Amino acid sequence: MNIRQQIKSTPYGSLIWRIFVGVVGGLITIIGTVFLFAPGPGLLVLLAGLGILASEFAWASRAMLKTKTIAASAANKVGVPLWVKYLIAAGCTALSILLIAHYFS
């Protein structure tokens, strides 16, 4: 049995787990929103926060699906090949990791 299942096996543990996920996911989502306007990987952090929230909350899961649909629609309108999209995403991710490592080292 993993830790998540062990915590959620009691009524209070389930509530505490949902509060924990809500606080952590909410903070990461807020940080991602700030990063949209400040230098940083805003969209990636925002989606990571929504992903954490989606593990426990249905509304966050629906928001993730809507975000993915909007992103796919915008990508289809641009007409960029799939391999180029993956290359851009990988490059932006690597750049974000390097910038974070640079600022925190």
4-49 pLDDT, tens digit each:
788 878 888 888 888 999 999 999 988 888 887 877 777 788 888 8
CB neighbours of residue 7 within 10 Å: 14
- Classify residue 104: in a domain, yes or no: no
Provide the domain count of the chain.
1
pLDDT digits (tens, 9 = 90+) for 38-86: 777 777 888 888 889 998 889 888 988 888 788 778 777 877 777 887 8
Name the one residue in this structure whose structure tokens are 């925002």: 46
- Classify residue 86: in a domain, yes or no: no
pLDDT band of 1, cuts 50, 70, 90: low
- Classify residue 33: in a domain, yes or no: yes
46: left (phi over 0), alpha (psi -120 to 50) or beta: alpha
Please answer whether residues 46 and 32 qualify as being in contact, where contact means their C-beta atoms are separated by less than 8 angstroms: yes
- Classify residue 17: in a domain, yes or no: yes
Residue 27 confidence (pLDDT): 93
pTM of the model: 0.61
- The span from the CA of 66 to the CA of 75, in Å, is 14
Higher pLDDT, 76 or 98: 98
Range of the domain at 36: 3-77
Higher pLDDT, 105 or 62: 62
As given in the structure block, the two tokens for residue 15 are 């509530």
> Quick one: which of 44, 50, 36 has its CA closest to 95?
44
